[in-house]
């Protein structure tokens, strides 16, 4: 039995609008066995598939799609070691679909996760039709190598960099994961990146202002880094790298100031003078302290 998707999302700390989880779980209860998760990068498509498989247990086959995805990687390829070792049993290597069909023979719930399918060339869409429609694994010569029973569910994700073929879309339950709202993303960023509320909010505003795409995971990573930055220029370099623009770094630095998170001189580890393990008398330490403050070390 597959776990409830809503439970898997919750266990993984993923936040989605109630309607999304309701739609996903309703589809699954109704017997949908192939999903297409769409949405911009960083909306949780991949993480949710993994989390669902993890909570379900059973079998999990993950394949990252790319421009070279072909019948060899998806259905059946040739394994050269089979020729070298003259072992006919090894001449072919199972692709992701064939692997999944073989694993699923044990009857356990099996999730076939094909990630970022939009990265494939359009011809690759055809490779999935037989698997989704007739629930079989068939090679280009028409030989059937495996079947998918009801215990197999497909989880296909797409960042929508290209439209998928209509024939493929007709066989999939399409669900679009939205960009997380500011209300939900602000506390999430505070918690995961350790930034204050003003900084979280200023970082999230970059999703609209930046001409380069800025995703939630980008902001989590950048927020974490900003905490260790000691100068305005450091912050500007980081924000310019993210957005492709030099004009937002100062806003972020100002927000860090409003959150009281700018590095304080007193936070710096003072340079203390010691002599054979004993501390020098106070006046000398005071000079060292002033020196280390001035040097910013």
Ligand X SMILES: Nc1ncnc2c1ncn2[C@@H]1O[C@H](COP(=O)(O)OP(=O)(O)O)[C@@H](O)[C@H]1O
Name the residues that contact Mg ion, by CB under 5 A.
46
Residue range at the interface with ligand X (CB under 6 A); choices 41-49, 124-132, 140-148, 160-168: 41-49
Q: Choose the contact partner of 42 out of ligand X, Mg ion, none; CB within 5 to 8 A by kind.
A: ligand X
**Nearest partner of 255 among 219, 294, 296, 218, judged by Cα:** 219
Burial of 10 from C-beta contacts in 10 A (0-12 / 13-18 / 19+): middle
Cβ neighbors of 166 (< 8 A, separation 6 or more) are none
As measured in angstroms, the least distance from the Cβ of 107 to ligand X is 29
**Neighbour-count burial of 155, counting CB atoms closer than 10 A to its CB (0-12 exposed, 13-18 middle, 19+ buried):** buried
Report the 10 Å Cβ neighbour count for 83: 12
Report the residue number, 15 or 288, with the smaller CB distance to ligand X: 15
Separation of CA 286 from chain center: 50
- Give the nearer residue to ligand X in terms of CB position, either 74 or 220: 220
Quick one: which segment of 36-44, 81-89, 143-151, 282-290 binds ligand X (CB under 6 A)?
36-44
Site for ligand X in 193-232 (CB under 6 A): 216-217
Judged by DSSP in three states, 230 sits in coil
Name which of residues 128 to 157 contact ligand X (CB under 6 A): 157
- 3-state SS assignment for residue 84: helix
CB of 136 to ligand X, least distance (A): 28
114 binds ligand X (CB under 6 A): no
39 interface partner picked from Mg ion, ligand X, none, CB below 5 to 8 A per type: ligand X
Question: Where along the sequence are the contacts to ligand X (CB under 6 A)?
Answer: 14-16, 39, 41-47, 157, 180, 216-217
């Amino acid at each position: 039995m597959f776990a409830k998707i809503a439970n898997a999302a919750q266990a993984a700390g993923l936040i989605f609008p109630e309607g999304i989880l309701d739609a996903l779980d309703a589809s699954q209860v109704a017997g949908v066995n192939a999903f297409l998760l769409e949405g911009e990068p960083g909306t949780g498509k991949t993480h949710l598939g993994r989390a669902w498989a993890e909570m379900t247990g059973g079998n999990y086959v993950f394949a990252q799609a790319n421009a070279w995805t072909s019948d060899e990687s998806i259905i059946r390829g040739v394994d050269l070691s089979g020729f070298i070792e003259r072992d006919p049993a090894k001449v072919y290597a199972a692709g992701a679909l064939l692997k999944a069909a073989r694993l699923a023979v044990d009857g356990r719930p099996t999730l076939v996760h094909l990630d970022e399918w939009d990265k494939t060339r359009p011809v690759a869409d055809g490779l999935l039709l037989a698997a989704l429609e007739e629930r079989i694994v068939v090679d280009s010569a028409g030989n059937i190598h495996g079947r998918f029973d009801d215990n197999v569910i497909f989880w296909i994700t797409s960042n929508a960099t290209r439209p998928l073929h209509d024939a493929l879309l007709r066989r999939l339950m399409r669900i679009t994961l939205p960009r997380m709202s500011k209300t939900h993303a602000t506390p999430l960023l505070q918690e995961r990146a350790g930034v204050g509320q003003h900084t979280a909010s200023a970082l999230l505003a970059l999703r609209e202002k930046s001409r380069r795409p800025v995703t939630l995971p980008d902001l989590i990573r950048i927020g974490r880094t900003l905490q260790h930055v000691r100068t305005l220029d450091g912050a500007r370099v980081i924000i310019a790298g993210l957005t492709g623009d030099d004009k937002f770094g100062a806003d972020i630095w100002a927000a860090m100031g409003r959150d009281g998170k700018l590095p304080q001189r007193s936070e710096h580890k003072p340079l203390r003078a010691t002599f054979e393990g004993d501390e020098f008398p106070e006046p000398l330490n005071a000079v060292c302290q002033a020196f280390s403050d001035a040097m910013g070390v």
